Amino acid sequence: MISHRKYANELAVRFTKLMSSDATSGILLIFVALMALFIANSSLGHGYHELFHHPLGWRPVARLDTLHAWINDALMAVFFFVVGLEIKREVIDGELSSPARRRLPVLAALAGMAVPALIYLATAGTALPAQRGWAIPAATDIAFAVGVLALLGPRVPASLRLFLLTVAIVDDLGAVAVIALFYTARIEPVWAVTALGLLVALVACGRLRVPFMPVYLLLGLGLWFCVLNSGIHATVAGVLLAFTIPLRPMRGRSMLLKLEHGLAPWNSFLIVPLFGFANAGVALAGIGLAGVLDPVPLGVTLGLFLGKQIGIFAAILLADRLGFASRPEGASWIQLWGMAVLCGIGFTMSLFIGALAFPGDPHLVEEAKLGVLAGSLLSSLLGFAILRLAPQPRRAGRTVDAA
């Protein structure tokens, strides 16, 4: 009996470690993306499409009339809520808490958004509707990229992993701003004003340090509902709510940290994989693999694969050479290049923006998905290869370049 209990405890510990691993969440994303692609192009393809896009019989929220809408507008609001919590924590008490720490990752993230957008526009053109997809290759998928880094283990210095995380966090904040500013079709004034009133109430609760979490969550639910009906994408409500959650401990605990730690596993192992499964299923029958050479998918592919690495690596190189900011300690230039390539894994955020960019054109949405998958695959393979084969920097009192 004792041996059985010991074995069960050991198994539970191993399972907990596995489920908390960055590599596990990254591998899970790869698996669900491949599964979605396989199912969408098999005899089950019609059922796959019907599952997510067939109108629901019961609609407690009128605007959410399909399972796909519930995933993209409701569950992804939770995803953005957790992202917002992470951003606030980093800005107040983390890697973005001082100007010196913010300088390089913010510059790298901005360059890593601008260059892919320019490459996309140069490839896909500036004529509508293709032009609306300019932001698709501008985002980095944190879980996917960090998952690939985790597979490399100690070959990647901790400073490089931390830098990638920081760049991706700033990147996510930029993506949220892009969604709010550029992918809002029409504002409904009454709903928008009501949402603003609820946001003011949430800010007041934070300022007054109200210690009751249900108050924030109930007001946040109302905020999400009003934003959903206002014309602004509902996921923006998740970030706004996160910014009002207090970080400083109250009654011996931090509400923000409790929520972040409690929701992070649900984000990594349920919400993001479910989103990936619902959105990565590209039906190639109407496109074909050669369709990746069409303007939109080619622009997305090149934006992610070339634009991200050029923008981020060039920003780090220039900042270091000009004395604006130093590169991450202990990382060689080759390793920094590999990290910049990994930032071209767009997946979750890119798929999400792709659906917003072409709401009335399902064919372009599918083409954008193909570009996201192609660009993310190329970036993950090349980034992994660079970091796996990169010489390890030698330490002799100081780090020596391996580049």
Environment class of residue 187 by beta-carbon count within 10 Å: exposed (0-12), middle (13-18) or buried (19+)?
exposed
What DSSP designation does 326 have? P
Return the bridge partners of 253, or none.
Answer: 250
User: Is residue 337 scored above 60 in pLDDT?
Assistant: yes
For Cα atoms 175, 178, 182, give the angle at the middle one, nearest 5 degrees: 155
CB 343 within 8 A of CB 163: no
pLDDT digits (tens, 9 = 90+) for 13-70: 443 444 445 567 777 878 888 899 899 889 998 999 999 989 998 888 888 989 998 9
Tokens, residue 400: 């020596």
Query: What torsion do the CA atoms of 374, 382, 79, 118 make, to the nearest 10 degrees?
Result: -60
DSSP H or E segment with residue 123: helix 99-124
Task: Indicate if the pLDDT at residue 4 is higher than 60.
Answer: no
pLDDT of amino acid 22 = 58
Q: What is the pLDDT of residues 261-314, one digit of tens each?
A: 999 888 888 998 898 898 888 777 766 666 678 899 999 999 999 999 999 999
Q: Which residues contact 29 (CB under 8 A, 6 or more apart)?
A: 141, 143, 144, 147, 272, 273, 276, 347, 348
Confidence of residue 402 (pLDDT cuts 50, 70, 90): very low
CA distance 270 to 264: 10
Q: State the average pLDDT over residues 207-217.
A: 93
pLDDT tens column, 367-384:
898 899 899 999 999 999
Report pLDDT for 198: 96
Q: What confidence tier does 237 reach under pLDDT thresholds 50, 70, 90?
A: very high
For the whole model, what pTM was predicted?
0.78
pLDDT in the model for residue 13:
43
Say what the pLDDT of residue 276 is: 86
CATH node for 25-56+63-183+233-389: 1.20.1530.10
Cα distance between residue 290 and residue 331, in whole Å = 38
| In the chain, domain spans | 25-56+63-183+233-389
pLDDT at residue 172 in the model: 79
Is residue 253 helix, strand or coil? strand
Mean pLDDT of 185-203: 92
In this prediction, residue 397 carries a pLDDT of: 46
| Confidence class for position 177, pLDDT limits 50, 70, 90 | confident
